Amino acid sequence: MKHPFFKNYGPFKIKDLLDDLKLYHIENLSDDLVHDIRDLQSADKEHLTFFHSKKYHLQASKTKASHCITLQNLAHYLPIECKPICVDNVLLIISQITSKIYPDAVNDDFDNSVKKIEELNFNNKIKYGHNVLVGENVKIGKNCSIGHNTIIEKNVNIGSDCSIGSNVIIRNTIIENNVAILDGCIIGKKGFGFFPNKQKNLRYPHIGIVLIGENSEIGCGSTIDRGSMSNTTIGKNTYLDNQIHIAHNNKIGDNCIIAGQVGFAGSSTLGNNVMIGGQAGISGHLKIGNNVQIGGGSGVIKNIPDNSRVMGYPSKDLRQFLKDNK
């Protein structure tokens, strides 16, 4: 499937990609073409993927990718149809390859394509305040309103009947109908993904986007990072209170209610009908089930099954928490 915003400069020969990175020592590289780079679950036979940690061995065993950048001790988990390419630093190599396939995703500077909204043709179908700027490749539906000093940067689709507050910045985002983005939000910037280095930390490109489902609301001062390899998603009819941070690759389900100052580290999945109290923290790469309730101030550091109620740091069953804190 074609990327909605970033240009894919492929296909590339596997051999050429790795030769450009001076990985000449890797043997038996073919002239096979790869058309895109994807995570283990979404990759198909025309894609390159990566596998860097044993905790993803189940996804690795089912991947449909033709080639996989991985470690020598993990290669045996891959299906026979997927050719392993073993390197010493998987994430570094995959970052460099992603930059070659999607070079436009590397630069996250301010968008100098923006123009005053009154200079553009939106057929008078929206209301807007003072100093509203809009970039290239932006679509805005009917009956929308945009507040003062807001910047809709390049690569944004906004559905009908949406309300965008003042002092908002949005890029690389698809917003469905009847969504409210309140004042001061920043949505669609790159996430906090990098490789620590004593000389200079190296950021990796974020080729995902942000998807916000219909009838949702994003509270004042909240930030939602776009995905690194997959998308960051907010489900339908989900309400985020003020000053919430959603890091890259998180998947928030439908009908969720999340109170103020909750923070999500990257790549966690939240089920439907979840309620989270204020100032809770959710660690990365977790799965939180449906109908879960998380008390305010909790620290979630492990998976939570469906229909659970937890509280505390580290979070534990609510009844046990109350018993321990009589």
What are the catalytic residues?
248
Residues 136-156 as b/e (b if ≥16 CB within 10 A, e otherwise) read eebebbeebebbebbbbbbbb
Neighbours of 320 (CB within 10 A): 12
The token pair at 308 is 């659970």
SS3 string of the chain? CCCCCCCCCCCEEHHHHHHHCCCCCCCCCCCCEECEECCCCCCCCCEEEEECCHHHHHHHHHCCCCEEEECHHHHHHCCCCCEEEECCCHHHHHHHHHHHHCHHHCCCCCCCCCEEHHHCCCCCCEEECCCCEECCCEEECCCEEECCCCEECCCEEECCCCEECCCCEECCEEECCCCEECCCCEECCCCCCEECCCCCCEECCCCCCEEECCCCEECCCCEECCCCCCCEEECCCCEECCCCEECCCCEECCCCEECCCCEECCCCEECCCCEECCCCEECCCCEECCCCEECCCCEECCCECCCCEEECCCCEEHHHHHHHCC
Q: Is the peptide bond before 11 cis (omega within 30 degrees of 0)?
A: yes
